[in-house]
Structure 1
Amino acid sequence: MRAALFQSTTGIDPLLGARALVEAVERAAGEGADMLFTPEMSALLDRDRARAAGTIVRESDDVALAAVREAAAKHGLWVHLGSLALRAEGEGVPYVNRAFVIDDSGAIRARYDKMHLFDVDLPGGESWRESAAYRPGAGPVLVDTPWGRLGLSICYDLRFPDLFRALSDAGATMLAVPAAFTVPTGRAHWHVLLRARAIEAGAFVLAAAQAGHHADGRTTYGHSLAVDPWGEVLLDMGAAPGVALVDLDPARVDQTRARIPALRHRRAIGAIGGTA
């Protein structure tokens, strides 16, 4: 499998975001990719929620989703659209942070709403309350592709190994982790967490990320990574936006799991007992 990762510096105009995604599809296809992976919030990244409210729409009306589906069909490319900010159905908080897997005919094969929401106060003064505007997803999602079963996650989900255990227990051989990591948390944890998830699952990890200084004032860490099941970093895109390709050998999953059969040794963990 030849995977392409798109590292972007997404701004506050979803039309520009849609155009950049289509260009990434065209470039990935032109370089022989089988599937493109894009970051969290691929078309719109705006921390000003009052301003963003005028551009976040329902899935059926989203220009970036429609454009990527059309481009995927035109170029015969699978796309993991890392996530889009979309208006939620029903009552409650207004939005969802939703990932899509789109096949080479432009059909949507899977949707995943981010389960774990980023509500933190960082030592440098950054404060985030994702749950104030976004509704958490209901559960894990996997999707079958021609190259294996892909487990879906988004950004902060990376810190919750139980999610990745559930995905690998259900047969995932690849794990997608689109992200918009902050610089402080990225420097401290990005590489080590992604490598740990790959090693624990004996699976490939494909993590397309936002990078650089954005129009809404934030700065993201970048370093989109592809990690193999042994934990080896196959691709690190550094800090610059762009598209990069990496070749993955699906046989590596079986080889690694045979070498360290940790998945077969997993046991259900019950209640913790006290000392006698």
Structure 2
Amino acid sequence: MTRVAVFQPTTGIDPAANTAALVKAIEKTAAGGGTMLFTPEMSGLLDRDAKRASSALREPERDEVLSACRDAAAKHGLWLHIGSLAVLTSNGKVANRAFVIDAAGEIRATYDKIHLFDVDLPTGESWRESNVYAAGDRAVVVDDTPVGRLGLTICYDLRFPDLFARLAEAGADSIAVPAAFTVPTGMAHWHVLLRARAIEAGLFVIAAAQVGHHEDGRNTFGHSLVVDPWGEVLLDLGDQPGLGFVEIDRARIADVRSRVPALAHRRSIPNVTHQ
């Protein structure tokens, strides 16, 4: 059994305040016996004002949030999955990038969000991630984490089951789904999609989420979840900020896959014919 923690914040527009909250969550995870902490999408800054947010953007090696989190992980000897940070890339664009940091504070892996969310909602809200972010171009599995082989996704990736299938086929034991889901889409789809992805792939899904009313005016759904390979919800943090702990038993994966060996039966689908 592996004890991990999930952090559900209401991230704001001040990176220093957000950093302090992350470091405190790392400290609480260590005090609670956790071996790894999972945080949501945009853990360092959540700001829909692109001009204001741009002043806080840095390359990863200069990002103060990332540096402080690495130091705290090393100090307390635990692993950390930063769901994502907005960082500048070498070509001057912005990446929505996840970081996996080991117990020595070293960056073991990164993942740039592949699927970008562009939509006009019936509520009048408009989201255009592609206006700011460059899409990632590779799927990532991190070996030898406290939860075994960890597959990486971010938020909107949840709606693309092929990505989860590829990660499962690559040997993932768990898949992280950090998110900042809107309230309407969260109420309709969050639980059912996360449970479906866990069932389809026969593994654990660990989904740290943003929650509440944010300084930039948005509202996020919360309900950070941990789902086991059978689709059972092991942890649901509800609609308030907080930190939750859960025990991960990787033996559950083999048990479930022996009863429903769908992953082993997966086949390449031929071209569709119209008749």
TM range (shorter): over 0.9
RMSD: 0.8
Which residue in the other structure is 2:137 paired with? 138
Which residue in the other structure is 2:190 paired with? 190
Q: Distance in 1 between matches of 2:231 and 2:122?
A: 29
Give the 3-state SS of the residue equivalent to 1:3 in structure 2. Answer: strand
Deviations 1:127-185 (A, max 9, x none): 10000010000110000114311000000000000100100010011000000000000
Shift in alpha-carbon separation, 1:146–1:183, aligned structure 2, 3 A: closer
Which residue in the other structure is 1:34 paired with? 35
Deviations 1:180-211 (A, max 9, x none): 00000000000000000000000000000000
Partner amino acid, structure 1, of 2:129:
E
Alignment of 1:95-174 (within 5 A): 95-144=94-143, 145-174=145-174
Partner amino acid, structure 2, of 1:218:
R
Deviations 1:47-68 (A, max 9, x none): 0001001111111111110011
TM-score under structure 2 length normalisation: 0.98
Which residue in the other structure is 1:179 paired with? 179
Partner amino acid, structure 1, of 2:263:
L
Which residue in the other structure is 1:80 paired with? 81
8 Å Cα contact 2:6-2:244 kept in structure 1: yes
Which residue in the other structure is 2:68 paired with? 67
Q: Distance in 1 between matches of 2:36 and 2:257?
A: 24
Give the 3-state SS of the residue equivalent to 1:244 in structure 2. Answer: strand
Give the 3-state SS of the residue equivalent to 2:200 in structure 1. Answer: helix
The percent of aligned pairs where both chains have the same amino acid is: 64
Question: Deviating runs (4+, > 2 A) in structure 1?
Answer: none
2:14 matched to 1:13?
yes
- For structure 2, the residue ranges without an aligned partner over 5 or more in a row are none
- Measured after TM superposition, the shift of residue 125 of structure 1 is 1.1
- Measured after TM superposition, the shift of residue 124 of structure 1 is 1.1
Deviations 1:6-27 (A, max 9, x none): 0000000111111111000000
Which residue in the other structure is 1:212 paired with? 212
Which residue in the other structure is 1:53 paired with? 54
- Measured after TM superposition, the shift of residue 88 of structure 1 is 1.9
- Measured after TM superposition, the shift of residue 236 of structure 1 is 0.5
- Measured after TM superposition, the shift of residue 273 of structure 1 is 2.1
Give the 3-state SS of the residue equivalent to 1:52 in structure 2. Answer: helix
Q: Distance in 1 between matches of 2:17 and 2:202?
A: 37
Q: Distance in 2 between matches of 1:147 and 1:189?
A: 26
Partner amino acid, structure 2, of 1:62:
D
Aligned length, in residue pairs = 273
